[in-house]
Chains A and B, each alone.
Chain A
Amino acid sequence: MSSSSSSSSQMGELVADKHVRYILMSEKKKESFESVVMDHLRMNGAYWGLTTLDLLDKLPSVSVDEVVSWLLTCQHESGGFAGNTGHDPHVLYTLSAVQILALFDKLDILDVAKVSSYIAGLQNEDGSFSGDMWGEVDTRFSYIAICSLSILKCLDKINVEKAVDYIVSCKNLDGGFGCTPGAESHAGQIFCCVGALAITGSLHHVDKDLLGWWLCERQVKSGGLNGRPEKLPDVCYSWWVLSSLIMIDRVHWINKAKLVKFILDCQDLENGGISDRPDDAVDIFHTYFGVAGLSLLEYPGVKAIDPAYALPVDVINRILLTK
């Protein structure tokens, strides 16, 4: 962070066109080790890339049919989606698939009963959710289940009260949340828990001042946010910390201008893309979280994103306001 090098000194603007080109190109680059190692979560990658394009108002440059027909090859008989064709289903990829179809206004091609049964079937007796048939439990999966089912308008398929109780049982003395009861608070997990509580109208379970305290202590001197105490700042936490602060109405507790500058400092001004920290290598994950963070910060030229559903506000309105 000490190296606010000369190359980034004239920054101050989002190079949106370059990020668009970076995203469109990255889908074509399949030769690197990174892309081979990442192909089991291609569904997540597609969601990150496509949502970024939509936030920058460039979704029409993608072939809807191509994406949707590939997406459908990832669906299992069980109703769940895999990260790529021929892989096993998991809720992590199922949410991304639902979100992608929502972006394209194509939810009607889904067999909603099947997808929602898959998700609802993963709820456990104590209200928690497993990520797949192998049983690992995590509040991330609670969020995913609640978010997907809400988009599909089938929240009645699960026991919402128990799901909420379980999430609340993962609250720590510092006001944050972990992946299971007693697990360490982590900004990513906090986003999931607060998001799930927001969607189900249960935010009264959150001690907003206490959680806000923990969250605003994530901002470090450079203006960036970290995800846990003593960690380095990272662009992806711009999303997790910020969206949580917005949902609990405490976003004015951090220095927004400094955070905007930190995110803009992480851009590759030549080839597009955003990295975790200034001068690191860019990737699609941090490009999405950087742009989404700027959206939450109301940066000009970026569409507004919903902090709970992680989809553009116009997409969410289209879904939730229509029957």
Chain B
Amino acid sequence: MGQGSCSQEDSFDLLNQFEHVLDSDPLIDEVGFIHPSQFTMLDKESGSSDYNKTSTNFWNQDHKLGISTDILTQLCRVAKHAFLAAFNEYKRHENISSGVSFVSKVMKHSQAVLLLSSDFGTAWNARKLILSRQNQPTLEAFTEELRLSRLILSNCPKSEPTWSHRRWIIKMISRSFSTPQDIVTKESELVESIGERSKMNYRAWYHRCWLVSYMTIEQVLQELNKSKRWAGLHVADSSCFHYRRRLMLRVLEPLKVKGSNANDDETEAHKIWMEELDWNKELVKRYLGREALWLHRRFLSLNWIMYFCRNQSSETGESIVMNEETVIFIDNEIHLLESSMTVPDNKFEDFQAQALHASAYMLWLTKHIPKLWRMLEEKLGTEKLKCVLNTVDQERPSLLLQLKHNNDY
């Protein structure tokens, strides 16, 4: 990036060149910053001759756009400059009819600047401002925003202002054109494909969680089915499991308000919960030592005890009764704990992590249901229980102190 002393004219040429590339290929669906040495490699890979190679600054083929890292600083600076100047002009002329001519400038330069600096909020705001001032904004105008933000996310999957802009656009679309239910599926797929390349992306999964409140219960069930495969392949992605938790809480909702068809709802929810618990147990046994899986189990088990073991009335753990259903459930969990405690010599680390997560899981449940303590003592016996406590004590001694506080052990 050692070419700080380029003339202003050169800079504007560069910006023009960039905007021309964007203009001439409106179907670009992926963008990235690449070192110029990669240009030739990319050419070879795509097996094409040089006929549509733009320059040494931009690489554009098959609707993929590469921007040379050599020019990023210069290009970003001039784009910001051009955008802020155009936006100022626009604001100064907003009440005059000639303001219209600045609209296209603002749109053009904000697009350029956002592709280079996706968190530049003022540029996103300018686009929102222009759209919201149009008398009769067309669906195409909003769809264009979805395209642009998607393109930017291909390079900056964690950019919060970009995700936020998307939500604003979706709200606008659902206000005048369609219900948000129509958009849910596409958005969900987008998050999944971005989650593939950008692991444990909080912002992406938050976006998918945000969609849940707009879903019909049928869509919630569909999403539970559809996200299952992905989750099974990405067992360390806690955000994906949180998404499932969000969906599953929607399934529980009708149970909280006693209605006429409460029974049907309960059977359905019961089935879903049972399946998730079984599936989670399978994963826990197959992928040793995965924190995300054990945390998911905490959520599943506590809710199971609260809602399906005739404990519905209790919102907090305090009043959970150790009835027959609860005892049967806990008994199975103790078996799972026991089978997770063996640490053979080989693959030591994974087994150790497994033992820790399993022990912490059981103690976490005990924290919520103090009466569970007695059952652990009975079923495990003093020796095994000591082993569970030691496992936790070695890594997280504070958790035991806490339990000592609450229990008479």
Residues of A within 8 A of B (CB): 31-33, 36-37, 39-41, 82-83, 86-88, 90, 132, 134-136, 173-174, 178-180, 182-184, 186, 209-210, 212-213, 216-217, 219, 228-231, 250, 252-254
B108: CB under 8 A from chain A?
A: no
Contact yes or no, A182 B402, CB < 8 A: no
B351: CB under 8 A from chain A?
A: no
Q: Which chain B residues numbered 60 to 80 have a C-beta less than 8 Å away from chain A? A: 69, 72-73, 76-77, 80
Name B's interface SS: helix
Contact yes or no, A136 B168, CB < 8 A: yes
14 contacts between A and B (CB under 8 A): A33-B72, A36-B73, A37-B119, A40-B121, A88-B125, A134-B128, A136-B164, A178-B206, A209-B367, A228-B200, A228-B202, A229-B291, A250-B398, A253-B398
Q: How far is the CA of A39 from the CA of B73 in the complex (A)?
A: 12
> What residue of chain A has the Cβ atom nearest to residue B1's Cβ?
A33
Complex interface: chain A residues within 8 A of B364 (CB): 213
> What residue of chain B has the Cβ atom nearest to residue A232's Cβ?
B200
Min Cβ gap A317→B in Å is: 30
Report which of B122, B396, B398 forms a contact with A40, defined as CB distance below 8 A: B122
B120: CB under 8 A from chain A?
A: yes
Complex interface: chain B residues within 8 A of A213 (CB): 364, 367, 399, 402
Min Cβ gap A258→B in Å is: 12
Contact yes or no, A86 B202, CB < 8 A: no
Complex interface: chain B residues within 8 A of A183 (CB): 206, 209-210
Complex interface: chain A residues within 8 A of B402 (CB): 209, 212-213, 253
Q: How far is the CA of A311 from the CA of B17 in the complex (A)?
A: 46
Q: How far is the CA of A216 from the CA of B299 in the complex (A)?
A: 18
Complex interface: chain A residues within 8 A of B212 (CB): 182
Report which of A86, A173, A217 forms a contact with B302, defined as CB distance below 8 A: A173
Q: Which chain B residues numbered 338 to 395 have a C-beta less than 8 Å away from chain A? A: 360, 364, 367
Report which of B76, B84, B246 forms a contact with A37, defined as CB distance below 8 A: B76
Q: How far is the CA of A236 from the CA of B92 in the complex (A)?
A: 41
B57: CB under 8 A from chain A?
A: no
Report which of B84, B290, B398, B406 forms a contact with A86, defined as CB distance below 8 A: B84
Complex interface: chain A residues within 8 A of B122 (CB): 40, 82, 86-88
Min Cβ gap A84→B in Å is: 9
Q: How far is the CA of A129 from the CA of B128 in the complex (A)?
A: 19
Complex interface: chain A residues within 8 A of B398 (CB): 212, 216, 250, 252-254
- For the A-B complex with A40-B122, A87-B84, A174-B295 known, give 12 more contacts whose Cβ atoms are closer than 8 Å: A31-B1, A33-B76, A87-B122, A88-B125, A132-B125, A136-B168, A173-B302, A216-B398, A230-B238, A230-B290, A250-B398, A252-B398
Complex interface: chain B residues within 8 A of A90 (CB): 121
Q: How far is the CA of A112 from the CA of B237 in the complex (A)?
A: 45
Q: How far is the CA of A37 from the CA of B4 in the complex (A)?
A: 15
> What residue of chain A has the Cβ atom nearest to residue B171's Cβ?
A135
Contact yes or no, B298 A36, CB < 8 A: no
Complex interface: chain A residues within 8 A of B121 (CB): 40, 83, 87-88, 90, 132
Report which of B76, B164, B242, B299 forms a contact with A36, defined as CB distance below 8 A: B76
> What residue of chain A has the Cβ atom nearest to residue B396's Cβ?
A216
Tell which of A31, A88, A250, A252 has the most Cβ of chain B within 10 Å. A88
Q: Which chain B residues numbered 72 to 103 have a C-beta less than 8 Å away from chain A? A: 72-73, 76-77, 80, 84, 88
Known A136-B164, A182-B212, A217-B360: A32·B238 in contact at CB below 8 Å: no
Contact yes or no, B73 A174, CB < 8 A: no
> What residue of chain B has the Cβ atom nearest to residue A86's Cβ?
B84
B328: CB under 8 A from chain A?
A: no
Binary A-proximity of B301-316 (CB < 8 A = 1, otherwise 0): 0110000000000000
B117: CB under 8 A from chain A?
A: yes
Contact yes or no, B399 A135, CB < 8 A: no
